[in-house]
Chains A and B, each alone.
Chain A
Amino acid sequence: MAASFDLNNDGVVVIIGSGAGGGTLGNELAQKGVDVVILEAGARHEYEDFINDEWASFSQLAWTDKRTTSGDWRVSKDFPNLPAWIVKSVGGSTTHWAGASLRFQEHEFKTLSTYGKLEGANLLDWPVTLAEMEPYYAKAEAKMGVTGTNGWPRLPGNNNFKVLKAGADKLGYKECHTGNMAINSVERDDRMSCQQTGFCFQGCKWGAKWSTLYTEIPKGEATGHLEVRPNAMAIKINHDASGKVTGVVYADKDGKLQEQKARIVTVAGNSIESPRLLLNSESSKFPHGLANSSGQVGKNYMRHTTGSVYAIFDKPVHMYRGTTMAGIIRDEARHDPSRGFVGGYEFETLSLGLPFMAAFLNPGGWGRSFTTALDHYDHMAGLWIVGEDMPRAENRITLHKDEKDAHGMPIADVHFDDHPNDTAMRNHAYKQATALYDAVGATRSFPTPPYPSTHNLGTNRMSEKAEDGVVNKHGQAHDTKNLFVSDGSQFTTGAAENPTLTIVSLAIRQAEYIASQMSAKTI
């Protein structure tokens, strides 16, 4: 049964966040007999509680605490206080994610050496290679039940996929299928298979899609070594005179401040909250925030080069039926500078329900040009563009100078400007996707701007050298041996692929490292 640890127990590993990184790390450590407390800012909703309704589900799961934005990205104008569409709930954004589980390509771990120096980009090679990551990718795929691996069949294609596939064939794309999805295509792991319900983003009510909420977390709890403490919002990480971290101050469900003592602290609150917490943990010893001697905490914020293309046909599609993102074209994911940009991008099927389509198709748009698009909602097909964006020092998370949240913690400001490479890639993708749908007979296409970010990356990046980044190849802070980062904020660069599989793989690898270092008593 789930453990319950005393606040003064200074032998526990405290993990902040219960999503792909934190939830996985918590279970992996618990399986090795390490005592773990996960502090989760959100409430615990089990999968039966999820809601097949976009706005109602958004109210249930989304992180809606106020943030501010700046920069030239359109999100800042359209959604000035909602830079990211991520989750505040046990399971974190693994409740909301689409399930796409792709390994990075070899060159994507070596972007500086492969792409060379690019003006305005803060490129850096990862201190990890694909070869080093492969065994952990394999473990993650096995754990998550990724289709197209381990003999598990791919999901059947829905209507939206069939349109994508027909267009891909017409354009001569070779690698198009229903993806590598962490969604059960057959019953496994005591969870049922996908029922083609749609509403993947609203939490899978069948539990067919992998989420730490109903896989890693209960498995970890069953060991008796894991306690998940919901409604616990981390405010500050404390340290002693030597610089070692000693505990985490958090606001409990009643808003009362508590401190959980710790032997090790790992931060996994997603790439906005994680640097916010480190920056807010400033002290006389660390005046610029914890783990920040490099000055890189909060910098290099990446959010993937994204966009969508929707198209209308003269006959019905019903794109919203079935698995939302089970459809991919990988041909453009290669690095091929002849296209006018470095790095690559994926096309993945995407649909929104009518309420979110109205909100996101052309935010701020109105009048007949806008409404005639919605009039043909059931004749629409859609895809998402997800590509590698360039890390930039100016794209960063900072603490707001004046505004504070309910607990008195400064809110986060998210600044983002597109790099010219991002813009060139997005325009290429818009053109290709429009051609793809035209080839199937689309009568009208809509190059749709990026939504609030779902892939938030890079703000506590990994680096070989301490001066270039925040953590080493194990996610361990360069400055502080018993402080780790376990989410996508440790990504050195973003790659073209959806990040969750890599976050989970890194967490499995990090658990091995932490457990071995604890045994060796080095931390």
Chain B
Amino acid sequence: MVTIYDAKPGLSRRELLKRGGIGALLVISGSAVISPENAWGLETSALKPETMATLIQMARDIYPHDQVPDKYYAIAVKGHDEQAGKDAAYKTMIEDGIADLDKKSGEGGYRGLGWEEQRVAVLQQIEATPFFQSIRGGLVVSLYNQQEVWPIFGYEGESYSKGGYIARGFDDIEWL
């Protein structure tokens, strides 16, 4: 669950990052989405930071892995900000897509829906749209192709430099 805290004006990113006590929240401040607890922030240049925060939530709802921290979802969707900076039509598609998502989600918007099931129900309504397909299609590569997430799933990645698995457990199964 990505909980977003909308920062009060004037609260600097540095101060936010110092306030480790804020917990597992994402904070929108100026043009950035910030995770104070984990000391990372994502600046947006083309998309609204609120849009980016919603994209991060949406990414988690599409491919929910409770053991994967928000940081990796943020990295996985940041390409949309870069693409939006280069392509006005793309930017419109993303901003309109998020606006539509919020509208369909009622008064508090998409991020205001408390349960994953509620948000998934909204995503199912837009599943066939180019917006959704674009987010999901990009995410299936950009999330799972991060080498940093592989150990979380028990995938060991490159093995040639370690001499393969001939002496590292290619046949070590014991429970059969």
Q: Pick from A162, A163, A197, A440: contact of B165, CB below 8 A.
A: A197
**Inter-chain contact B156/A320, CB cutoff 8 Å:** yes
> Is residue A205 within 8 Å, beta carbon to beta carbon, of the partner chain?
yes
State which residues 130-176 of B face A: CB under 8 Å.
136, 140-141, 143-145, 150, 153-161, 163-166, 168-173, 175-176
Q: Which of B24-32, B60-68, B92-100 lines the interface with chain A?
A: B60-68
For B61, the chain A residues whose CB sits under 8 A away are 367
> Is residue A159 within 8 Å, beta carbon to beta carbon, of the partner chain?
yes
**Inter-chain contact A359/B164, CB cutoff 8 Å:** no
For B17, the chain A residues whose CB sits under 8 A away are none
User: Size range of the interface on B?
Assistant: 35 or more
Give the complex CA separation of A88 and B144 in angstroms: 25
**Inter-chain contact A371/B65, CB cutoff 8 Å:** yes
Shortest Cβ distance from residue A67 to the other chain B in the assembled complex, whole angstroms: 18
Known contacts A371-B64, A377-B154; 12 further A-B pairs (Cβ under 8 A): A158-B165, A194-B164, A195-B164, A196-B166, A197-B165, A198-B164, A316-B154, A353-B155, A354-B150, A355-B141, A374-B153, A378-B153
**Inter-chain contact B166/A55, CB cutoff 8 Å:** no
Residues in chain B within 8 A of chain A (CB atoms): 61-65, 67, 116, 120, 136, 140-141, 143-145, 150, 153-161, 163-166, 168-173, 175-176
Q: A162-B173, A197-B165, A377-B154 are in contact. Are A52 and B159 (CB under 8 A)?
A: yes
**Inter-chain contact A321/B169, CB cutoff 8 Å:** yes
Interface of B is mostly: loop
Of all chain B residues, the one with the shortest Cβ separation from A366 is: B62
Of B153, B163, B165, most buried by chain A (CB within 10 Å of CB) is B165
Residues in chain A within 8 A of chain B (CB atoms): 52-53, 55, 156-159, 162-163, 166, 194-199, 205-206, 313, 315-318, 320-322, 353-355, 357-359, 364, 366-368, 370-371, 374-375, 377-379, 440
**Inter-chain contact A368/B64, CB cutoff 8 Å:** yes
**Inter-chain contact A197/B160, CB cutoff 8 Å:** yes
For A367, the chain B residues whose CB sits under 8 A away are 61-62, 64, 120
**Inter-chain contact B164/A159, CB cutoff 8 Å:** no
Q: A163-B176, A371-B64 are in contact. Are A355 and B171 (CB under 8 A)?
A: no
The 9 A-B residue pairs whose C-beta atoms are closest, nearest first, are A378-B154, A197-B164, A195-B164, A322-B170, A358-B144, A52-B158, A196-B170, A354-B155, A321-B165
Shortest Cβ distance from residue A172 to the other chain B in the assembled complex, whole angstroms: 17
For A163, the chain B residues whose CB sits under 8 A away are 173, 176
Q: A159-B170, A197-B160 are in contact. Are A440 and B155 (CB under 8 A)?
A: no
**Inter-chain contact B165/A198, CB cutoff 8 Å:** yes
Shortest Cβ distance from residue A55 to the other chain B in the assembled complex, whole angstroms: 5
For B64, the chain A residues whose CB sits under 8 A away are 367-368, 371
Q: Pick from A159, A199, A368, A377: contact of B159, CB below 8 A.
A: A199
For B136, the chain A residues whose CB sits under 8 A away are 364, 366
Q: Pick from B153, B170, B175: contact of A354, CB below 8 A.
A: B153
**Inter-chain contact B63/A370, CB cutoff 8 Å:** yes
Of all chain A residues, the one with the shortest Cβ separation from B66 is: A375
